[in-house]
């Protein structure tokens, strides 16, 4: 008998600040239509000086632990491409901040924006081996490009925590998956750089090539047909990319590519990404959160997922929506995580962008800026020091739920 395994809970968090694209456009003289229409972005989250991938991840995961407890969680997989340490998993800090049991395995996973999907699939394998166990998958990233570069308009920051379990309350992840890997240099970040390097047009082409590649494999593995999906959640570095990708797939499959057909499949998935910006590996699951929070009842329907990570690896898979899923959503908390952000002016954003820790191993406290439950208090002897501010994170209202 096959076991049903999938997403039992999903919670997200984003940063303290937000920069509207109108402020960026006013600074660099860009017609705002390019941002609002051309790339489909309204604003982007900007972390405070005392926020990073760990504080966002802990904020996203705390409500999941509060709701379900940690008794069954024996594995935490932390997916990120904006890692804070070359050796230690950021997940270990989160494990500590959340007070998870010592009898847990914690590991970090990386393949650009695809990492969270790899983590989800590996988690499903672990739960399959022992359905009594649950796996906490966390995706957390700060997307950062050079100031005054074309990529600057496609920054952002967010974390998603996903509890993977047998008999899930939200979505059952289905077999098969379509897979695709190609060695391309479309986007990368050498170890000595804070911000990513990107060949913009090459990255869009590489993404579209991966859409075709995963779909070809998905079809060969006897996957569903395109018409069977109620919606498709695409990785969204900027929301217009989802439109480009879906049109490309429809065209590739010989389907109508009219505005309404495209909007029907992806229109509800872009609401959070368009105001949060690129959250890298979390972004496809922010698309899912937006879809589940806004759609009419999706019970029993199939949702497609196209997860793309530059470099590149991609996967197409599907999941079916579980009855009564709406009782388990975190819609109010998700909206609060977005609405609570403080609006920055351009100068404030630039100052935060230019911040970096000295590398001298000294004492470097960070200014207290975040109002979230966890903060990065500073750097001491090359070690990141985190603080649990002791605020309730389990019960709404509160950032990230």
Q: Where on the chain is the footprint of ligand CAA (CB under 6 A)?
A: 31, 33-34, 37-39, 113, 150-151, 153-154, 186-187, 198, 200, 203-204, 207, 235, 237-238, 241, 278, 280, 308, 310
The residues, ordered by sequence, that sit 6+ positions from 133 with a Cβ below 8 Å of its Cβ are 72, 73, 74, 75, 126, 127
> Given the complex with ligand CAA, which of 183 and 222 has the nearer CB atom?
183
Q: Give the alpha-carbon dihedral of 190, 94, 307, 399, to 10 degrees.
A: -120
Q: What does the alpha-carbon distance between residue 56 and residue 161 come to, in Å, rounded to a whole number?
A: 10
- What three-state secondary structure class fits 25? helix
- What three-state secondary structure class fits 396? coil
Distance in Å, CB of 353 to ligand CAA, minimum? 15
> Given the complex with ligand CAA, which of 187 and 272 has the nearer CB atom?
187
Name the active-site residue from 8, 16, 21, 81. Answer: 81
Q: What does the alpha-carbon distance between residue 320 and residue 229 come to, in Å, rounded to a whole number?
A: 9
Distance in Å, CB of 200 to ligand CAA, minimum? 3
b/e 32-44 (16+ beta carbons within 10 angstroms → b): eeebeeebbbbbb
Distance in Å, CB of 80 to ligand CAA, minimum? 13
Name the active-site residue from 113, 152, 246, 333. Answer: 113
How far is C-alpha 393 from the chain's CA centre? 20
Query: Would you say 234 and 241 are in contact if contact means Cβ atoms under 8 Å apart?
Result: yes
Number of Cβ within a 10 Å radius of residue 175: 11
> Given the complex with ligand CAA, which of 149 and 371 has the nearer CB atom?
149
Distance in Å, CB of 31 to ligand CAA, minimum? 4
- What three-state secondary structure class fits 76? strand
Q: How far apart are the first and last CA of the chain?
A: 36
Distance in Å, CB of 2 to ligand CAA, minimum? 33
Whether residue 81 lies in the annotated active site: yes
> Given the complex with ligand CAA, which of 180 and 386 has the nearer CB atom?
180
> Given the complex with ligand CAA, which of 309 and 373 has the nearer CB atom?
309
Distance in Å, CB of 151 to ligand CAA, minimum? 4
> Given the complex with ligand CAA, which of 280 and 349 has the nearer CB atom?
280
> Given the complex with ligand CAA, which of 115 and 399 has the nearer CB atom?
115
Name the active-site residue from 95, 235, 246, 248. Answer: 235
Cross-strand pairs, 239: none
Question: To which residue do tokens 């974390």 refer?
Answer: 159
Whether residue 382 lies in the annotated active site: no
How far is C-alpha 58 from the chain's CA centre? 14
Whether residue 255 lies in the annotated active site: no
Kindly give the residue spans of alpha helices, DSSP state H, lying in 3-50.
Answer: 21-28, 32-33
Instruction: Find the angle CA(293)-CA(298)-CA(303) to the nearest 5 degrees.
Output: 90
Number of Cβ within a 10 Å radius of residue 72: 18
* Closest residue to ligand CAA: CB criterion: 38
- What three-state secondary structure class fits 331? helix
Distance in Å, CB of 216 to ligand CAA, minimum? 19
Which residues are tagged catalytic? 81, 113, 235
């Amino acid at each position: 008998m096959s076991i049903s395994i999938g997403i039992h809970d999903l919670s997200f968090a984003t940063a303290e600040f937000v920069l509207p694209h109108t402020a960026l456009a006013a600074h660099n003289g860009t017609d705002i239509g390019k941002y609002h229409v051309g790339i489909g972005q309204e604003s982007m989250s900007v972390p405070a000086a005392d926020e990073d991938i760990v504080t966002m991840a802990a904020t996203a995961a705390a409500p999941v632990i509060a709701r379900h407890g940690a008794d069954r969680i024996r594995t935490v997989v932390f997916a990120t491409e904006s890692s804070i340490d070359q050796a230690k998993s950021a997940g270990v800090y989160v494990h500590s901040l959340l007070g998870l049991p010592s009898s847990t395995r914690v590991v970090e996973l990386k393949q650009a924006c695809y990492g969270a999907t790899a983590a989800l699939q590996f988690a499903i394998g672990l739960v399959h081996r022992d359905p009594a166990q649950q796996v906490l998958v966390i995706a957390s990233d700060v997307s950062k490009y050079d100031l005054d570069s074309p990529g600057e308009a496609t920054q952002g920051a967010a974390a998603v925590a996903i509890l993977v379990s047998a008999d899930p309350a939200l979505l059952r992840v289905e077999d098969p998956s379509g897979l695709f890997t190609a060695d391309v240099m479309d986007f990368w970040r050498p170890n000595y750089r804070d911000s990513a390097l990107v060949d913009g047009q090459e990255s869009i082409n590489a993404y579209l090539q991966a859409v075709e590649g995963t779909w070809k494999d998905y079809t060969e593995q006897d996957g569903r047909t395109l018409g069977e999906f109620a919606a498709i959640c695409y990785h969204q570095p900027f929301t217009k990319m989802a439109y480009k990708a879906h049109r490309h797939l429809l065209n590739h499959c010989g389907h109508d590519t009219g505005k309404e057909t495209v909007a029907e499949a992806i229109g509800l998935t872009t609401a959070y990404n368009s105001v949060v910006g690129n959250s890298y590996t979390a972004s496809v699951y922010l698309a899912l959160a937006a879809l589940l929070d806004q759609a009419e009842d999706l019970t029993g329907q199939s949702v497609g997922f196209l997860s793309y990570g530059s470099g590149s690896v991609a996967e197409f898979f599907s999941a079916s929506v579980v009855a009564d899923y709406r009782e388990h959503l975190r819609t109010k908390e998700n909206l609060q995580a977005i609405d609570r952000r403080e609006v920055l002016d351009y100068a404030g954003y630039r100052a935060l962008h230019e911040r970096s820790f000295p590398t001298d191993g000294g004492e470097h406290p960070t200014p207290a800026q975040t109002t979230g439950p966890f903060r990065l208090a500073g750097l001491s002897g090359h070690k990141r020091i985190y603080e649990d501010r002791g605020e309730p994170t389990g019960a709404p209202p509160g950032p990230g739920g």
